[in-house]
């Protein structure tokens, strides 16, 4: 079932006005991830529609188990997903809430009760973007043991406060961590080396949109790099400005090029920038 939007409206109300369908059923389709706007799955009742947008309702999928986020790639060995901001990759000793791991596992088990899934790498809870999971232990071990050799590109996009002095830069730091899990730049040679490259893509009066390429994968390294440049990432409650009112961290892992150990070739995974990034930079 397809619709073309004719006026500004919120998704649930527009569908209720234009479909011969009870509002309860429309809510069920939204909840089960069966509604797409411009080919992107949308579950928000109040998602803002603009004239010309295309809406597709997959009426066959309401009773199927679906993921509440985008699958970028899937075969019998790995699954690559676009993690939303605010979702833990895997549970920690202190945080046992629902995680990306649990959600993907439920999805795979719904299709095959013997399915397994293994975390290959992590993103911070507040960072969105590309995460790779393995479907068998052999593939997981191959990827983890050779991660730095297999991954030839790790690229992020971020929105930072203000305007950077240089349009491109390379930040080389040694990082350490406090007992309260706060990462900081060491003054000597102690800690682990972190290398962060950036390039300014766009600026407006208040913010800069930057492309970030990392040569190392240290905890919080991008957030600390921009904090040290005095242009923290927008929405960063841990390393940013206390006056920042944004509700999400504006850091997104948007490109990852990885050698697939079974297919024996490099694959580039890519995602679009989140809508919030486009909105804040307009």
| Residues with a known catalytic role | 124
State the Cα–Cα distance between residues 275 and 58, nearest whole angstrom. 23
Q: What angle do CA 101, 102, 108 make, to 5 degrees?
A: 90
CA distances to 3, 111, 198, 227 from 221, in Å: 44, 37, 12, 10
How many Cα atoms within 13 Å fall on the side-chain side of residue 179? 0
Provide the token pair at 31.
Answer: 């909840």
State the Cα–Cα distance between residues 210 and 233, nearest whole angstrom. 10
Q: What is the DSSP string of 55-76?
A: EEE-TT-TTS---SS-EEEE-S
CA distances to 21, 61, 70, 105, 199 from 28, in Å: 11, 11, 19, 22, 43
How many Cα atoms within 13 Å fall on the side-chain side of residue 271? 28
Q: Is the dihedral of CA 140, 145, 146, 152 positive or negative?
A: positive
Secondary structure (3-state) at 80: strand
Provide the token pair at 44.
Answer: 């928000």
Beta bridge partner(s), residue 156: 212, 253
Beta pairing class for 128-134 and 251-260? parallel
């Amino acid at each position: 079932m397809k619709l073309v939007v004719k006026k500004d409206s919120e998704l649930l109300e527009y569908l209720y006005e234009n479909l011969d369908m009870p509002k309860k059923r429309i809510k069920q389709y939204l909840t089960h991830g069966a509604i797409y706007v411009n080919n992107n799955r949308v579950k928000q009742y109040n998602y803002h529609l603009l004239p010309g947008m295309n809406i597709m309702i997959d009426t066959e999928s309401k009773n199927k188990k679906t993921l509440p986020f985008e699958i970028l790639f899937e075969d019998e060995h790995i699954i690559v997903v676009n993690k939303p901001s605010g979702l833990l990759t895997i549970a920690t000793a202190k945080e046992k809430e629902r995680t990306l791991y649990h959600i993907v596992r439920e999805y795979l088990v719904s299709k095959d009760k013997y399915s397994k899934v293994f975390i290959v790498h992590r993103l911070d809870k507040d960072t969105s973007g590309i995460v790779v999971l393995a479907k068998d232990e052999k593939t997981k071990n191959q990827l983890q043991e050779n991660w730095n050799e297999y991954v030839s590109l790790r690229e992020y996009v971020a929105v930072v406060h203000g305007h950077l002095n240089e349009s491109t830069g390379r930040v080389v730091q040694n990082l350490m961590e406090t007992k309260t899990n706060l990462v900081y730049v060491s003054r000597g040679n102690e800690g682990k080396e972190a290398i962060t490259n950036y390039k300014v893509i766009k600026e407006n009066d208040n913010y800069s949109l930057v492309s970030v390429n990392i040569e190392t994968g240290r905890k919080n390294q991008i957030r600390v790099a921009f904090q040290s440049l005095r242009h923290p990432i927008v929405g960063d409650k841990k390393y940013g400005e206390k006056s920042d009112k944004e509700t999400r961290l504006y850091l997104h892992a948007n490109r990852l090029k990885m050698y697939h150990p079974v297919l024996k070739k490099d694959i580039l995974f890519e995602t679009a920038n989140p809508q919030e990034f486009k909105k804040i930079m307009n």
